[in-house]
Amino acid sequence: MSELLTIDSISVSYGSIKALRDVSVRVEQGDIVCLIGANGAGKSTLLKAIVGLEPITTGSITYQGHCIAEAGSSDAKKMFPFFGKRLGSSNNLRTDEIAGRGVALVPEGRRVFADMTVEENLDMGAFLVRDEQKIAQKKEEMYDFFPILGARRKQKTRSLSGGEQQMMAIARALMSSPRLLLLDEPGLGLAPLIIQDIFEKIAIINREEGVTVFLVEQNALMALKASKQGYVMENGRIVLDDLSANLLQNDKVKAAYLGE
């Protein structure tokens, strides 16, 4: 197994709020890795840093062996790509460049385009794909994988249930055939049975399509059961990391996150 994503000692601040402090995470190719933590721990911020939406103030992020973000590296080139070489080199890739390398984020709260149909939402997910035939084929694959989306393809997304919208948000991310899928609280606000359905789909995407998954969740039990490796975040720091099977038996995790 090789390392697909390496987050090395990164920090992120929002003004005076230190949201991430010296965070390191490793994601092996082919694995499902989870990050659990309470509300406000910094989980979403970590995902945003990976896709270039929040600048890091320490450390670096490496994906497929290439640095995609580095503290202190100039952001000027990222902001003004037309000036190219004149601004010198920057290791900080733009969000669209990171997406182009095969990283797809399903954001917290799904962020679907409510007034667009299911089909139009899926088209949005394929914005980096030029080949119309490939897009049509990928949509059919998604309709096979999530039959409810096939049945509702012409309906406005706002008419879907929360669970169906979450499935659509995952399908939209899969339209770009990512190598690494980042999921921000896929179970948020959903009933237990629906959460189970969604986690089953995530397992299939990982097992059968070979997509590596980095999953952020407040639902620690589901996340640890679904993953191989787990990290626990508190107040912007990683306080524990281990095989998920071990974390499920860990007394501190049991008391703080599993309600035991």
Give residues in contact with ligand ATP (CB under 6 A).
14, 17, 19, 37, 39-45, 108, 218
Residue number, 44 or 244, with CB nearest to ligand ATP: 44
Residue number, 42 or 178, with CB nearest to ligand ATP: 42
Q: Smallest gap, in angstroms, from Cβ of residue 222 to ligand ATP?
A: 15
Q: Smallest gap, in angstroms, from Cβ of residue 42 to ligand ATP?
A: 4
Concatenate the DSSP letters of all residues of 102-160 into one string. TEEEE-TT----TTSBHHHHHHHHTTT---HHHHHHHHHHHHHHSHHHHHTTTSBGGGS
Residue number, 9 or 159, with CB nearest to ligand ATP: 9
Residue number, 48 or 172, with CB nearest to ligand ATP: 48
Q: Smallest gap, in angstroms, from Cβ of residue 112 to ligand ATP?
A: 18
How far apart, in whole angstroms, are the C-alpha atoms of residue 64 and residue 2? 9
Nearest to residue 41, comparing CAs of 26, 21, 24? 21
Q: Smallest gap, in angstroms, from Cβ of residue 57 to ligand ATP?
A: 14
Q: Are 241 and 253 in contact (CB under 8 A)?
A: no
Concatenate the DSSP letters of all residues of 206-228 into one string. HHHH--EEEEEES-HHHHHHH-S
